[in-house]
Homo-oligomer: A and B are copies of this chain.
Amino acid sequence: MIAKTPPMGWNSWDCYGAAVTEEIVRRNAEYMAANLKQYGYEYIVVDIQWYEPASISHAYNAFAELVMDEYGRLLPAENKFPSAKTAKVGGGCETGHMTGCNPVGCNSVGFKPLSDYIHSLGLKFGLHMMRGIPRQAVHANTAVKNTNATAKQIAQYNSVCAWNSDMYGVNAEAEGAAAYYDSVFEQFSEWGVDFVKVDDIAREFHVGELNLVRAALNKCGREMVLSVSPGPAPLREAEYFKANTNMWRITDDFWDKWALLYEMFERAEQWARHAGAGHWPDADMLPVGAINQVYGDDERTKFTADEQITMLTLWCFMRSPLMIGGELTKTDDFTFKLLTNINLLEMLSNSWCAKQIYRRRFKVEQPLGFGGLQNAQNVDNPQGEEIIWFAPRKSGGYYIAVFNTGEETRAITAELSSCELRGEYEAFDLWNKTRFVINDSLTANVNAHGAAAFLLTAR
């Protein structure tokens, strides 16, 4: 089984958008091998537009000319990924790579050299792809490999991505549609891909094409983590995603804004029960450290330290994949410690059944209910909530986290009875690394937008 625990790694999007290059990928891989691999990080994922020579930011060029082969399969743009270009074999373009490739001596080896290098570092190679077939393949009416079908016959002209003009959707019922996806995964397999992020397929849920993707992956002869985007994936399709993918985005693109982090509590609460070996709800990349490098070398995450602690805590409790968004070679000390908290990271493999115990507004004027608390919903003027998460630890003990969504530091008490525990425990503070004894309840001072997390062991 692949992805037995939530995948960990790095993704190029948050720091380089549509402008990622081979040099960037190599140096981030080298940093990971040297510094992060020991903590479990292993995937190096090249995100969107690796086949587009001209993109230079997070923006897309409409109707951009893409590099592709004679079967309408995309190839690395060689100005961005030079190792894809091989020496001229003879005269002329022998393998027929079309638009954008230098016709003389065209003989792309694709991502094989880069993938080999990443593997040589003991890491794994991930690659992004869009649902569908390139528009330019359709307009050039390229052949579908191993078939008599052509691009025009399998393209669905009115199934187009809302935010990127590169592709047409494929009519999953058309003859040749399955063969096309097979040919893409055949190539990915040859290139040594270990992780594929399929985009424009999960929020607008294109089940026909996703079935073809799954089948092609199964046939291609190589195991790859199947990650689907963008989010939010529809909750009603949870069983499909669990059975057919390894991770699926539960949110739209996540960035370094409190409002987005705040919203994640609700999504995490709804999706956590669907986390399990081989299938993980994905809260998106961690926008930490040196993100947005494409806009300036000095760009850094706008999250406060407390917000980052909240983020890592929540991601680990819900067991989301952890994909780092920042340029790794610029990792500062705080960020490094944030990402390598081994006691917290242990949750990815050694907890289960995590759930939100409760979520309650504070500053209630008229305490209600047996616990003196009240409705967190239908709140016109929320003053902040305290949120408790809990998870048994497989090898013994319990994890508990306390979040404060309010704007001021606050002493928050969690009655252990709400977790169905009672009596004395040793509490180990996972962020402050302190230990203390509690009895029937646990109180923590939690900063605004912050979190505290503990491992409880019976005494």
Residues from chain B with Cβ under 8 Å of A353 in the complex = 352-355, 391-392
- Contacts A239-B360, A353-B355, A359-B239 given; does A207 touch B375 at CB 8 Å: yes
Pairwise interchain contact A358-B239, C-beta atoms closer than 8 A: yes
Residue A179 at the chain B interface, CB threshold 8 Å: no
Q: Cα distance A237–B359 when bound, in Å?
A: 11
- Contacts A157-B160, A239-B377, A277-B418 given; does A368 touch B211 at CB 8 Å: yes
Residues from chain B with Cβ under 8 Å of A272 in the complex = 273
Pairwise interchain contact B165-A62, C-beta atoms closer than 8 A: no
Residues from chain B with Cβ under 8 Å of A211 in the complex = 366, 368, 374
Task: With both chains docked as a complex, state the minimum distance between the C-beta of A273 and any C-beta of chain B, in angstroms.
Answer: 5
**B-contact 0/1 string along A183-210, CB 8 Å cutoff:** 0000000000000000000000001000
Q: Cα distance A283–B412 when bound, in Å?
A: 33
Task: With both chains docked as a complex, state the minimum distance between the C-beta of A391 and any C-beta of chain B, in angstroms.
Answer: 8
Pairwise interchain contact A240-B417, C-beta atoms closer than 8 A: no
Q: Cα distance A370–B63 when bound, in Å?
A: 35
Residues from chain B with Cβ under 8 Å of A243 in the complex = 358, 360, 368-371, 373-376
Task: With both chains docked as a complex, state the minimum distance between the C-beta of A330 and any C-beta of chain B, in angstroms.
Answer: 35
Pairwise interchain contact A158-B152, C-beta atoms closer than 8 A: no
Pairwise interchain contact A368-B215, C-beta atoms closer than 8 A: yes
Pairwise interchain contact B394-A239, C-beta atoms closer than 8 A: no
Tell me the A412-434 residues at the B interface (CB within 8 Å): 417-420
Residue A26 at the chain B interface, CB threshold 8 Å: no
| Chain copies in complex | 4
Residue A36 at the chain B interface, CB threshold 8 Å: no
Residues from chain B with Cβ under 8 Å of A165 in the complex = 157-158
Tell me the A340-373 residues at the B interface (CB within 8 Å): 352-360, 366, 368-371, 373
Residue A162 at the chain B interface, CB threshold 8 Å: yes
- Contacts A239-B359, A239-B376, A244-B375 given; does A418 touch B139 at CB 8 Å: no
Pairwise interchain contact B240-A63, C-beta atoms closer than 8 A: no
Residues from chain B with Cβ under 8 Å of A242 in the complex = 358
Residue A410 at the chain B interface, CB threshold 8 Å: no
Tell me the A53-70 residues at the B interface (CB within 8 Å): 62-63
Q: Given B139, B158, B418, which contacts A136 in the complex, CB threshold below 8 Å?
A: B139
Pairwise interchain contact B368-A244, C-beta atoms closer than 8 A: yes
- Contacts A62-B157, A63-B138, A353-B392 given; does A240 touch B277 at CB 8 Å: no
Pairwise interchain contact B239-A417, C-beta atoms closer than 8 A: no
Pairwise interchain contact B62-A152, C-beta atoms closer than 8 A: yes
B-binding residues in A (CB < 8 A): 1-2, 4, 62-63, 135-136, 138-139, 141, 152, 155, 157-158, 160-163, 165, 207, 211, 214-215, 218, 226, 236-237, 239-240, 242-246, 269, 272-273, 276-278, 352-360, 366, 368-371, 373-378, 391-392, 394, 417-420
5 nearest interchain CB pairs? A353-B353, A157-B165, A244-B369, A240-B375, A239-B376
Return 16 A-B CB contacts under 8 Å, by A number. A62-B152, A158-B160, A158-B165, A207-B378, A211-B368, A214-B370, A215-B366, A272-B273, A273-B273, A273-B356, A276-B419, A277-B420, A278-B370, A278-B371, A278-B417, A352-B420
